[in-house]
Amino acid sequence: MHGRLDGRTALVTGAGGGIGAAVAERLAADGAAVLVTDVDEHAAQVVADQIMAAGGTADALALDVTDAAQASEAVTRAAALGDGILNIVVNNAGIIRPAMIAKLEEPDFRAVLEVHVVGAYTVSRAALPLLATDGTGRIINVTSAAGLVGTIGQANYGAAKAAVVGLTKSLAKELARSAITVNAIAPLAATAMTENIRTHEKLAAQTLARIPLGRWAEPAEIAGSFAFFASDDAAYITGQVLPVDGGTVI
């Protein structure tokens, strides 16, 4: 069977569950050899095992994206799944610490910025020496409607996700000379991160009312957009933000 990502290597962060797990599975289904990483090592291993059981190529590794030494080891391990070149980096790891600004304490503000912004910077920087420069190199970041249009009770998360957009655009311009594209996806999906909203009667109804397509996506529905950015079809697209959110950001 031939896949459009045959022969490519990929590293996905925060891939122990939710969108990251679905992306790892999809990239592998399209032929990439995937290093499944997460701060939760066991969760990453379970996903890697599922990929291998489905006939794909995967390995798992503990990676806290804010740790430069771990990031360095992870990119080396991911590249070693192929012939030492890393093709695809997906900066997906994320956390939320929701609170209205008056109750949003500094540690919770900093923690969210640390994982999303410093994490994407750390892993991208570690990956750079190994990233393919033949036109197949990809960095795919994950932003959010929160970073594009703002959300109530998530000033930390909105600030972090807006910063991810700035990081994406700046890296796209910097790395274009190496033919590496850098794009971002703003997803919306039923995951652990959105469980509190989806199970809260009032918030669930309010949120659904803001989704023109009127439903939450399963993570697997989001994953195809990552595979697209990773593919040759997207080789001439860089610095862009693609909402995959049922029309929430229009």
Ligand X SMILES: NC(=O)c1ccc[n+]([C@@H]2O[C@H](COP(=O)([O-])OP(=O)(O)OC[C@H]3O[C@@H](n4cnc5c(N)ncnc54)[C@H](O)[C@@H]3O)[C@@H](O)[C@H]2O)c1
Q: Looking at the annotation, which residues are catalytic?
A: 157
CA angle 119, 231, 164 (to 5 degrees): 25
Do the strands 57-62 and 138-142 form a parallel or antiparallel pair, or are they unpaired? unpaired
CB 29 within 8 A of CB 3: yes
- Which amino acid does the sequence have at 58? A
For residues 126 and 112, what is the distance between their CA atoms, to the nearest angstrom? 20
Pick 194 or 240: Cβ nearer ligand X: 194
Pick 193 or 204: Cβ nearer ligand X: 193
- Per CB under 6 A, does 244 bind ligand X? no
Pick 43 or 131: Cβ nearer ligand X: 43
- Per CB under 6 A, does 124 bind ligand X? no
- Per CB under 6 A, does 40 bind ligand X? yes
Q: Closest Cα partner for 144 from 186, 86, 193, 102?
A: 186
- Per CB under 6 A, does 192 bind ligand X? yes
Exposure of 222 by Cβ count < 10 A (0-12 exposed, 13-18 middle, 19+ buried)? Answer: buried
Give me the least distance between CB of 1 and ligand X, in Å please. 28
Pick 43 or 172: Cβ nearer ligand X: 43
Pick 59 or 132: Cβ nearer ligand X: 59
Torsion of CA 193, 196, 201, 205, to 10 degrees: -20
Torsion of CA 233, 234, 237, 241, to 10 degrees: 140
- Per CB under 6 A, does 194 bind ligand X? yes
Give me the least distance between CB of 238 and ligand X, in Å please. 20
Structural tokens at position 158: 């909105």
Total residues belonging to the chain: 250
- Per CB under 6 A, does 39 bind ligand X? yes
Q: Which of the stretches 4-12, 99-107, 167-175, 188-196 binds ligand X when contact is defined by CB under 6 A?
A: 188-196
- Per CB under 6 A, does 14 bind ligand X? yes
Torsion of CA 159, 224, 72, 14, to 10 degrees: 60
Q: Which of the stretches 58-66, 71-79, 125-133, 206-214 binds ligand X when contact is defined by CB under 6 A?
A: 58-66
- Per CB under 6 A, does 25 bind ligand X? no
The DSSP call for residue 135 is S
Q: Which of the stretches 60-68, 100-108, 176-184, 227-235 binds ligand X when contact is defined by CB under 6 A?
A: 60-68
**In this chain, which of 5, 10, 29, 38 binds ligand X, going by CB under 6 A?**
38
Structural tokens at position 48: 């890697």
Name the residues that contact ligand X, by CB under 6 A: 13-14, 16-20, 38-40, 43, 63-66, 92-95, 115, 119, 142, 144, 187-189, 191-194
